[in-house]
Copies of this chain bind each other. A is one copy, B any other.
């Protein structure tokens, strides 16, 4: 008469979607005339797919990965952190030291039907550029879902 539930399901981004998002991000990067590193992680924050555009700054390689991790690991876009921290001094001084957490723009959760299935992180320009690149990749998801 056990009523124990053994497992629960988590949806996570496919490699197919991840690669299409990379493509769109790279296109946007070329359009902006800058070189970006782009990282996709799965639901659990593990690396799924990655591209460094030719000439992308070495510094961007890890930041892009950390942004994608941050976004998936808390289901929150990285640029949303600052507004939540700025009037909350203990968090502002403390949370920023969290391992791999990025609190400036360029990381977004990948959401399907309102559920987080992974994260995308971009680095290479100012974070406002990085955000545009992410958004271009996420548009594809929105469009594709609309078609379905």
Contacts and interface: CB of A to CB of B under 8 A. Distances in A.
B90 A79 contact: yes
- Kindly report how many copies of this chain are found in the complex they form together: 4
A141 B16 CA distance: 23
A73 B85 CA distance: 26
A12 B10 contact: yes
B50 A59 contact: no
A137 interface: no
A53 B15 contact: yes
A136 interface: no
Nearest to A79: B90
A90 B102 CA distance: 9
A75 to B, nearest CB: 7
Contact of A17 (B4, B53, B81, B144): B4
B57 A4 contact: no
5 contacts: A4-B16, A6-B13, A6-B14, A6-B112, A15-B54
